[in-house]
Amino acid sequence: MRVIHKTVTTATYEKLKADISAGKYKPGDHLLLKQLSEDLQVSRTPIRDALIRLQEEGLVEAKPHRGMYVRKLKEKDISNYYQTRAVLEGLGAKLAAENIKQEETQVLEDFINRMEKVLIHREDQGDEAIIKLNNSLHDYIFKIADNEVLDRLRRTLASPIALIRATSWIDSERKYEVFKEHEKLIIEIIAKNPERAKEAAENHIHKAWESANRNLKKLPEEED
């Protein structure tokens, strides 16, 4: 029974994290145990455990006498994360363009086709499929870059970036912009243009930054 409990807790944590990343639960939303239990079809115990873990990662926050909420980042927080991410992603793309092998070009080309299909069928598959594919693409680019230290630094930003994505993807049109930005990035990496790949990656991050800031202003103000 203990193993089963751990499995349910892990699955609950992963599902909640994915839902926050996809914007199902938006920054500032109150995470009610009863509602989450009904949504996820699990008892409250694994939900409590998952929320504690998400709190440790900075995705949710506890408010005294009120409960758990999806963390709402300030404009300065978003600025700091994206400034750092732009540097890391730019260098990763540059190294990928320098290091890419012939067999890896086909994998990147396949990403373009897969992303296009997911966008076309996104109403059926939901944003979770887009986010999963997005993460896989960035992971693969850093695999090509072959710099473990750089990749480790990038992964430290995974949780806050997931939270920011919940803000920046409120605008559905942003998903199509992301596709075109990724397509440009892939083309430059395959063409072995390090500086252009770096520029494409940085531009992609800056566009995401702008989107996050725009949508942050649309969210309701927090109550005292």
- In 3D space, the residue among 151, 207, 150, 212 whose CA is nearest the CA of residue 181 turns out to be 207
Q: What is the pLDDT of residue 119?
A: 82
Domain residues of the chain, as ranges?
Answer: 2-70, 75-216
- 79 CB contacts (<8 Å, ≥6 apart)? 209
Q: CA–CA distance from 108 to each of 10, 114, 152, 189, 222 (Å)?
A: 31, 10, 22, 9, 42
Cα 114 to the chain's mean position, in Å?
A: 18
Min mean pLDDT across 8-12, 19-23, 150-154, 168-172 is at: 168-172
**Above 70 in pLDDT, residue 2?**
no
Tell if the pTM clears 0.85, that is, is over it: no
Query: Average pLDDT for residues 88-117, to the nearest whole number?
Result: 96
- 21 CB contacts (<8 Å, ≥6 apart)? 128, 131, 162, 163, 165, 166
Question: Which one-letter DSSP state was computed for residue 222?
Answer: P
Q: Which of 70-74, 166-170, 197-201 has the highest mean pLDDT?
A: 197-201
**Above 60 in pLDDT, residue 74?**
yes
Q: What is the pLDDT of residue 166?
A: 62
- 159 CB contacts (<8 Å, ≥6 apart)? 57, 58, 59
- Which helix (DSSP H) or strand (DSSP E) does residue 67 occupy? strand 67-70
Residue percentage of the chain with pLDDT more than 70: 87
Q: How far apart are CA 177 and CA 208, in angstroms?
A: 9
Query: Average pLDDT for residues 160-172, to the nearest whole number?
Result: 65
Q: What is the pLDDT of residue 3?
A: 37
Q: What three-state secondary structure class fits 14?
A: helix
Q: CA–CA distance from 83 to each of 80, 112, 205, 210 (Å)?
A: 5, 26, 9, 12
Say which residue, 210 or 6, is predicted with more confidence: 210
Q: How far apart are CA 154 and CA 136, in angstroms?
A: 14
pLDDT, tens digit, 9 for 90 and up, residues 108-134: 999 999 998 888 776 666 667 888 898
CATH number of 75-216: 1.20.120.530
Q: CA–CA distance from 104 to each of 9, 182, 186 (Å)?
A: 36, 16, 11
**Above 80 in pLDDT, residue 76?**
yes
Min mean pLDDT across 56-60, 146-150, 172-176 is at: 172-176
Phi and psi at 31, nearest 5°, equal: -95, 95
Q: What is the pLDDT of residue 4?
A: 46
Q: Which CATH number fits domain 2-70: 1.10.10.10, 3.40.50.2300, 3.30.70.260, 3.10.330.20?
A: 1.10.10.10
Q: How far apart are CA 105 and CA 111, in angstroms?
A: 10
Q: CB–CB of 198/90 below 8 Å?
A: yes
**Above 50 in pLDDT, residue 138?**
yes
